[in-house]
Amino acid sequence: MKKEELFDLIHECTTLDIFIAKIAKLICNPIWITNDAYELVACSKEPNAYPYLSFLQDTKHKSEFVKRLIGIGLLNENGIKKPMRIFDTEYQKDVYVVDIFAKNKAIAKLAVAIENEMSEEDVQLLADALSVYLRHQLTNSGTKREQAFTLLLQKDQESQQLGYHLLIESGYAVKGTYMLAYVDTTIINRITVLSSFLSEIQKGHPSLLGGIVNEQCYILLPTSHRIDLKQYPNLYVGYSLAFEKFDSLYGYAKQAEYAGQIYRKKETHFETVIDTFICHQLKNQLPLVTLVDQRIQNLITYDKQYETKYYETLCMYISCQYSKQKTAESLYIHLNTVKYRLQQIEKLFDIDFEKDEKLIRLAMLVHHV
Q: What angle do CA 5, 213, 232 make, to 5 degrees?
A: 145
Last residue of a domain, one of 283, 304, 335: 283
Q: Are residues 277 and 294 in the same domain?
A: no
Q: How far apart are CA 197 and CA 179, in angstroms?
A: 19
* The pairing of beta strand 31-34 with beta strand 105-113: antiparallel
What CATH number is given to the structural domain containing 275?
3.30.70
Q: Are residues 28 and 128 in the same domain?
A: yes
* The pairing of beta strand 40-43 with beta strand 216-222: unpaired
Does residue 148 sit within a domain?
no
pLDDT at position 131: 87
Q: Are residues 237 and 305 in the same domain?
A: no
Q: Are residues 208 and 305 in the same domain?
A: no
Neighbouring C-beta atoms of residue 301, cutoff 10 Å: 11
CA-to-CA dists, residue 245 to 154, 176, 217, 223, 251, angstroms:
15, 9, 21, 13, 12
Q: How far apart are CA 93 and CA 187, in angstroms?
A: 58
pLDDT at position 332: 95
Q: Are residues 90 and 187 in the same domain?
A: no
pTM of the model: 0.54
Does residue 87 sit within a domain?
yes
Does residue 151 sit within a domain?
no
Q: Are residues 187 and 90 in the same domain?
A: no
Identity of the amino acid at 282: L
Q: Are residues 275 and 301 in the same domain?
A: no
Are the C-beta atoms of 42 and 20 separated by less than 8 Å? Answer: yes
Last residue of a domain, one of 87, 110, 138: 138
Q: How far apart are CA 120 and CA 177, in angstroms?
A: 41
Residue count of the chain, please give it. Answer: 369
Q: Which residue intervals of 139-182 are DSSP H helices?
A: 144-152, 157-169
Per-position b or e across 121-148, b if 16+ CB within 10 A of its CB: ebbbbbbbbbbbbbbbbebeeeeebbbb
Does residue 53 sit within a domain?
yes
Last residue of a domain, one of 283, 301, 327: 283
Does residue 149 sit within a domain?
no
Q: Are residues 8 and 131 in the same domain?
A: yes
pLDDT beneath 50: ranges in the chain = 141
Does residue 7 sit within a domain?
yes
Q: Are residues 268 and 295 in the same domain?
A: no
Does residue 145 sit within a domain?
no
Q: What residues make up the domain containing 57?
A: 3-138
Q: How far apart are CA 108 and CA 32, in angstroms?
A: 10
Does residue 152 sit within a domain?
no
Q: Are residues 57 and 103 in the same domain?
A: yes
Q: How far apart are CA 151 and CA 246, in angstroms?
A: 11
Q: Are residues 253 and 315 in the same domain?
A: no
Task: Name the domain count of the chain.
Answer: 3
pLDDT at position 67: 64
